[in-house]
Amino acid sequence: MRSRVVAIVIACVAISVNLAARAGGDAAKGKIESSTCLGCHGIADYTNVYPTYRVPKLAGQHAAYIVQALKEYKSGDRAHRTMHAQASSLTDQQMADIAAYFQSLGGQGGGKH
Ligand code: HEC
């Protein structure tokens, strides 16, 4: 009886750890999902930045900041036509994946963290 309780507790911990890892975002998936973003958001050794208007650099940005910004664009709290269109097509999981990918690029450039 006691060992069953222990087994259930262990199973619950395993599941919640798994969920926490997913919530953190998958950078490998984010790399694929962010291909449309890169046309505007220039990253280190990526040169086709828009010449006429400034696009914030996302490489090395904190994942939590990126997710928050995308949610605000999606909801309209942060107004920007282009980014509203971009963010509206993303699920929460895709936002987390993309954010994890951009954050992971931080070490490559100037190494600022
Ligand atoms: C057509 C060009 C374009 C594309 C494509 C694009 N963005 Fe943006 N993005 C911008 C511009 C311009 C801004 C600045 C908007 C503002 O002033 O609020 C911006 C702002 C942002 C910000 C806020 C950055 C900050 O420092 O506050 C995030 C995060 C972001 N974009 C993520 C993405 C992601 C993720 C994608 C792909 C799904 C994407 N963008 C695709 C042009 C683009």
Tens digits of residue pLDDT in 13-50: 554 544 444 458 999 999 999 998 987 887 655 555 55
Domain housing 64 = 25-107
Asked whether residue 72 is assigned to any structural domain, the reply reads yes
Task: Report the CATH number that the domain containing residue 48 is assigned in CATH.
Answer: 1.10.760.10
How large is the angle between the packed helices 63-75 and 81-88, nearest 10 degrees? 100
- The whole-number average pLDDT for the span 66-94 is 96
**Residue listed under structure tokens 């949610």:** 71
Residue-level pLDDT at 100:
96
Take atom 8 of ligand 1 and give the residue whose Cα is closest: 83
Take atom 26 of ligand 1 and give the residue whose Cα is closest: 56
Assign 106 a pLDDT band (cuts: 50, 70, 90).
confident
Number of domains in the chain: 1
Distance 19 CA to ligand 1 centre (A): 28
